[in-house]
Amino acid sequence: MPDRIPLLIDTDPGVDDAWALLMAFASPAHRLLGLTVTAGNVGLDHTVRNALKLCEVAGVELPVFPGCPVPLVHPAEDAAYVHGRDGFGDTGYLPPARRAEAEHAALAMIRLSRAHPGLLLVCLGPLTNLALALRLDPGLPARIGRLVVMGGAVTGQGNTSVSAEFNIAFDPEAAHVVFEAFESFDLVDWEAVLRHGLPHDEVERWFGEAGPKAAFYAAISRRTREWSEDRRGQLWHCADGLAMLAALEPEAVTGWARRPVAVETGGRLARGTTIVDWGNRSGRPARARILEGVDPARFHHWLRLALA
């Protein structure tokens, strides 16, 4: 399909990243150019290895570009307590046979945006790689057709601190750089994720009905699902999957709200918080298009397609 949309994904796999990547692998309308990888859910060595392993399990040949091992300025804690020390549930999977590319993720972003102007860029983890690319090449946003970011908590109902979401809180300075550089971007925040939970028993049924990819995903996600069920009840939340749905099938989105968004980079209580100007009082440009909802049937369709 020569008219497929070029797609580049920046990611920190991570269990929910893995399901989102499987969704992208399954899309006939998109041509995936590669995966740029950052630290986040766990350290960079693990996230790169997980990206390579997932490609191997899915039978997909893609370049994987290692990126930033730490945030731009301040150190941050990872989410190994949710995803496992290796990010994939500590299942002890066999190492991937293929190695990552030598090119840095930020440089790959710049090069691929020049080779494929108008590409779709989906960021599923902390925004460190993209912020670095922007500092190296301030003209980058003009070559990105659409930027979709999974991050933030738009009314302060965070999942890392009281008010901050993990991806933004891991590297608030990077998020600030990105949000100020792009004239327009799509934001899929944690609170939207909470509105689109998945019943644990239904997810278990999906795993049982599908094949080898589903079996691999069921294994690497088991620890995370048990953690989620213990703390959040009967619904599991696939944050990166929701962002990937909005990226792959914009028609599945039932509403957007365009507002100015800023990132708190200081503060004793609110570092990493996404501050949304809901009343348009600041006079700042409304660059963020915030996801309000999606069609649940389409979301479930894509999640199941990814496992098939």
* Catalytic residue numbers, as ranges: 12, 237
* The one-letter amino acid at 22: L
Beta 144-150 vs 288-294: how paired, if at all? unpaired
Phi, psi (rounded to 5 degrees) for 8: -125, 135
Beta 261-263 vs 274-276: how paired, if at all? antiparallel
| Cβ partners under 8 Å of residue 162, min gap 6 | 156, 269
DSSP-derived secondary structure for 128-156: HHHHHHHHH-TTGGGGEEEEEEE---TTS
Choose among 5, 45, 47, 12: nearest CA to 27.
5
CA angle (69, 222, 153) in 5-degree steps: 55
Distance CA 301, CA 308 (A): 11
Distance CA 228, CA 282 (A): 37
- Cα 198 → chain centroid: 18
